[in-house]
Structure 1
């Protein structure tokens, strides 16, 4: 079972979250996540004409892909300060030509006042963090931010609650004399999924630091998301059969 640390772009209470996770996110998951981002969105991002909208940009995997593989402007939406700090640090190292094409928005999408700025929108690793009411706000905001022919590509959240506790150990990564590691534990908690992430830093002899952070996720099936998006003018986009991905486009004449 694939498990990722969830991203939350539209819940005000989460704006200052990820203070723990931001330190460990890239070092423990960067290689795997970069490959997944390219596989899921690379072809569509490269074809963007008017713009790419990266919703819940995190530390910038989709944003960096869009800047490298397209000539379109990029709008990176990331309300969480800790993740946004990592994103801006990464952007600071880019050539001026690429920096000039990206705008970072420190507010939820429904507060960012974006209208028809992109023909490609991406929600990577974040939809599961939104309860139904916030998902509805997100769909509406995406519809407004896309051009009339725009499409949305989103990584599907878990479809259902786990029947038993799922534990995933993240592969250790060495940085100089220190080794960084982590473990994610997912379990059902009522109608939500509780995800606890434990991190540690150790040397050859001792554990030097330990930290943890807890996130909540709301399962949703592909069919349910298709129905929700239909209420906001989206229809399935043919030719996209990846089991991790839902691709939709704005209905003609919307």
Structure 2
């Protein structure tokens, strides 16, 4: 028997809050986390391993960058995650770690500009975060990042799409078996004016057919790489030469 779809539509004008990701949090780790763990290690592992002061994970979600940072570094790690639905699996994951590892991780349940962290890290990572921030929320993040990093600190920022897609695109997640049930889903991206509508469709099947279906929709705000570099330069960030990763912008914070 099918249950009605659950539809959650975060506001188009604010940063993520406690009520967001209520649907996706259940499915993210099952459908996406394994591939994401490989991706974050490839994109950020080398820089995190070089941290000597601290690592800041902005938009920690269920903890892929956070866990990688704990394992790859020997410094304090600060995880910033305002959404309660995503923070709950993060905290459960941290609770399973050894006491020695837990001593190095602090979770901040609010946006970075509200956490008021000052000079706590020499490496900051924004993975799968900036694209979901409206322009005003994005601009509020830059000075907060500059405050949280020590002079000369490094920022690794996964770039948002440069522009809305020309046509609807669909990404299907491979089915995952959990006991007697099969979890599946897809992500559908389409242009909506200057924004991108990103819809996640989830499905749980059993022997008798579809048991549940859920949908959650998010908004993304495109920004070209040059625009991001220009905005960050106003807060002391300079691109690091020799970094040609197309999806990640790597910068350092000029000494004040």
Q: Bigger relative contact order, structure 1 or 2, given CA contacts below 8 A and separation 6+?
A: 2
Contact 2:15 2:137 in 1 (8 A): no
CA distance in 1, matches of 2:57, 2:222: 22
Matches for 1:59-78 after TM superposition, within 5 Å: 59-78=62-81
SS of alignment partner, residue 19 of structure 1 = coil
Alignment partner, residue 247 of structure 1: 250
User: Separation in 1 of the partners of 2:206 and 2:39?
Assistant: 30
Q: Does 1:44 align with 2:47?
A: yes
Structure 2 partner of 1:3: none
Compute the RMSD of aligned alpha carbons. 1.5
- Does the aligned pair in 1 maintain the 2:15–2:134 contact within 8 Å? no
- The correspondence of residues 167-206 of structure 1 with structure 2, limited to 5 A, is 167-206=170-209
Is 1:86 aligned to residue 89 of structure 2?
A: yes
Looking at structure 2, the residues matched to 209 and 91 of structure 1 have their Cα atoms a distance apart, in angstroms, of 29
Find the aligned partners of 1:122 and 1:92 in 2 and give their Cα distance: 22
TM-score w.r.t. the length of structure 1 is: 0.94
Structure 1: state its 5+ residue gaps: 1-6
What corresponds to 1:99 in structure 2?
102
**Partners of 1:97 and 1:212 in 2: CA distance:** 39
- TM score, norm. by length of structure 2: 0.93
- In the alignment, what sits opposite 1:53? 56
Asked if structure 1 preserves the Cα contact closer than 8 Å seen for 2:14 and 2:134, the reply is no
Alignment of 1:137-216 (within 5 A): 137-216=140-219
CA contact 1:11–1:108 (8 Å) conserved in 2: no
